[in-house]
Homo-oligomer: A and B are copies of this chain.
Amino acid sequence: MTAERVFVGTRARTSGAEQDDINALLVERARRGLTVVRLKGGDPFVFGRGAEECEALQAAGVPFHVVPGVTSAIAVPAAAGIPVTHRQVASAFAVVTGHECDGVSSLDWEALARVPTLVVLMGLSALPEITARLLEHGVPPDTPAAVIASGTLPAQRTVVGTLATLAAEVAEEGLEPPATVVVGEVVRLRERLSAETVGLTHPARGLVSQV
């Protein structure tokens, strides 16, 4: 068995043009009669443009299968000892993208501010704006919040602070993308489910300032 491997990933955001190129590539190879695997990190339907690729395939009459994945929105907080829900602490969670172009400014921050756990994917560069909006809409400044960079990888680093302090602390520590932001009381559970003593699958190796 041999396979052609085409790398189409990006560290930063993919522009629309590049997404069109990916769609065209999938269709072109499939039409040649090849079996094509489009491999993505995380889940293809969680800000992964999976639906757009499915639409392109559908429009071209190419049959496809979708295999859901383990999303970083849940698995990366877990890797840092933070559950997104907890019966006594959070009975709902919301997931948004922090990519400016995908809608930091278009999101309904007033509504998101009222969801017990908020997870922001790709939220590092917009972190000062995101925390400011949540504070503006009444989330208490001492709400625990965390950023996990390179989650589940050997380079994983976690910074824990409060909504008021997080952006400054993250800047000071020089965290780099990819990163996942979690805001809510569930972040406090990290102390009780601490990786230090019990060892989660991917113990946080980074910086912890106690909340």
Comparing A4-12, A99-107, A140-148, A159-167, the segment that makes contact with chain B is A99-107
Contact of A111 among B57, B71, B83, B114 (CB under 8 A): B114
Q: Are B115 and A83 in contact, with the CB atoms below 8 A?
A: no
**A47 pairs with B198, CB closer than 8 A:** no
> Is A91 a contact partner of B87 (Cβ separation < 8 A)?
no
Number of interface residues of A (CB under 8 A): 61
Say yes or no: A91 contacts B102, CB within 8 Å. Answer: yes
Cβ < 8 Å to B, chain A residues 66-108: 66-71, 74-75, 77-79, 83-87, 91-97, 102-103, 106-108
Query: Residue A74 contacts which of B43, B51, B115 (CB distance < 8 angstroms)?
Result: B43
Complex: chain B residue closest to A201, CB-CB = B65
The listed residue (B95, B192, B198) touching A92 by CB distance below 8 A is B95
Whether a CB of chain B sits under 8 angstroms from the CB of A193 is yes
| Interface: A2 (CB within 8 A) | no
**Chain A residues in the interface with B (C-beta under 8 A):** 43-47, 49-52, 54-55, 57-58, 62-71, 74-75, 77-79, 83-87, 91-97, 102-103, 106-108, 110-115, 186, 189, 192-194, 197-201
